[in-house]
Amino acid sequence: MDSSTENKKTPLNENHKKRGAKMVGFAGWEMPIQYTQLKDEHRCVRTHVGLFDVSHMGEIRIQGPQALATLQWLTTNDVAKLSAGQAQYSLLPNSTGGLVDDIIVYCLKEDSDYLVCVNASNKDKDFDWMIKNNKGAKITDESDQWGQIAVQGPKAHDLLKLIFNEALDSVKNFSVLNRKFTNSHGHLVDVIIATTGYTGERGAEIFVPWSETEDLWNTLLDKGQSLGVQPIGLGARDTLRTEMKYSLYGHEINDEINPYESGLGWAIKPDAKDFMGRSAILKGREQGLKRKLVGLKMLDKGIPRENYLLFSKNGEQTGWVTSGTHSPTLDTPIGIGYVSIADSEIGNEIFVDIRGRKVKAQVCKTPFIP
């Protein structure tokens, strides 16, 4: 993260500052890293409910008679399975067997209208890639039209009920709902509620018109006081997703790593359709995967940080750490990393090179928390 003054600002930028957030540069945006203590914010999401400003994420609209054909070619998952009101985690592959990005596809109207949420750091790259490999759809970058608020935690649905006057508990994960909220001027505002998230907790991500984002944010915080709601920074967002072993682009996945090695084979449907890079991705699997993404629990003192090297018991380099942190839930250091297939079995001991010191760790089951 950097402290560049050239960063873009979300519609909640001033609101974060008024609430005392520490701001940092992230993916070209000025974002809140934390408001209070990271572990307290983390635990708020695990026990109550937290709000995240994710307005920096990109939204790309794909429409028209060729929308489905275009998405089928661009993505690894089977978009044809989506009905209106359903969402799908998917991958945007390149032609050589790696990934341009990981994405979520929201079906607004079957076969003809889809909203694709992409990572902030990849938005321009993804948009250009989609335009370059378009199969005749209308592709529009709508990122400057949408704010986005993630409501996450065991009490997330209680908070959503206070705002939208309906229980969403029974709504399946990866659903998409068109709803309205009443803003502070008494006007009804159209929003899209998606029951998705990046924390492992229940909740939703709300796509709201840019100019109405702060109004909805304030309303959620005001009405959620009795539920213990807090605004949450990017720091806790990262520790929460690490505890779930959710991939982050540029860490666990990139333009070179085969997604089967990343454990994302469930989002690849080569029998259902052809897609960009299909043969290269399958070739990697058929030739035998050489490494595997695993969870690491430290046995000795030390935190496994990104890019620290991993060694097998016989002293050979076996891989590297992609993400690591001190887990607030477990109160112990954890990490995610690539190791050779031979070293990837649960329970296997490996060593993390922490500034020249070989520190003992163990391959463990993931997600790290139930």
156-164 vs 213-223: helix crossing angle, rounded to 10: 120
Pull the structure tokens for residue 44. Answer: 């708020």
pLDDT of residue 2: 46
Fold of 290-364: Elongation Factor Tu (Ef-tu); domain 3 (2.40.30)
| Residues 316-359 pLDDT 10s | 999 999 999 999 999 999 999 999 999 999 999 999 999 999 99
Helix, strand, or coil (residue 280): helix
Q: Could you tell me the pLDDT band of residue 3, with boundaries at 50, 70 and 90?
A: very low
Backbone angles phi, psi at 230, to 5 degrees: -140, 150
pLDDT of residue 6: 83
Mean pLDDT of 190-195: 98
Angular region, 308: left φ>0, alpha ψ -120 to 50, beta rest: beta
Question: In angstroms, rounded to a whole number, what is the distance separating the alpha carbons of residues 9 and 22?
Answer: 14
Residue with tokens 């990017």: 234
∠ CA 229-235-241 to the nearest 5 degrees? 85
For the chain, what are the domain ranges?
A: 8-54+145-243, 58-141, 290-364
Mean pLDDT of 97-123: 98
Q: Could you tell me the pLDDT band of residue 4, with boundaries at 50, 70 and 90?
A: very low
In CATH terms, are 58-141 and 290-364 the same topology? no
Given a cut of 70, whether residue 5 has pLDDT beyond it is: no
| Residues 220-277 pLDDT 10s | 999 999 999 999 999 999 999 999 999 999 999 999 999 999 999 999 999 999 999 9
Question: In angstroms, rounded to a whole number, what is the distance separating the alpha carbons of residues 101 and 255?
Answer: 8
Domain spanning 58-141, CATH architecture: 2-Layer Sandwich (3.30)
Mean pLDDT of 89-114: 98
**E strands of the chain, at which residues?**
8-9, 22-26, 29-34, 50-53, 58-63, 86-93, 99-109, 113-118, 138-141, 146-152, 176-182, 188-194, 203-209, 230-231, 291-298, 309-311, 317-327, 332-340, 349-354, 357-364
At 139, the amino acid letter reads I
Question: In angstroms, rounded to a whole number, what is the distance separating the alpha carbons of residues 68 and 135?
Answer: 9
Mean pLDDT of 84-104: 98
Q: Does domain 8-54+145-243 have CATH number 2.60.40.420?
A: no
| Residues 40-69 pLDDT 10s | 999 999 999 999 999 999 999 999 999 999
Pull the structure tokens for residue 91. Answer: 């991958």
Question: What is the reported pTM?
Answer: 0.96
Given a cut of 90, whether residue 199 has pLDDT beyond it is: yes
Q: Specify the DSSP class assigned to residue 83.
A: P
Given a cut of 80, whether residue 1 has pLDDT beyond it is: no
Residue with tokens 């796509």: 207
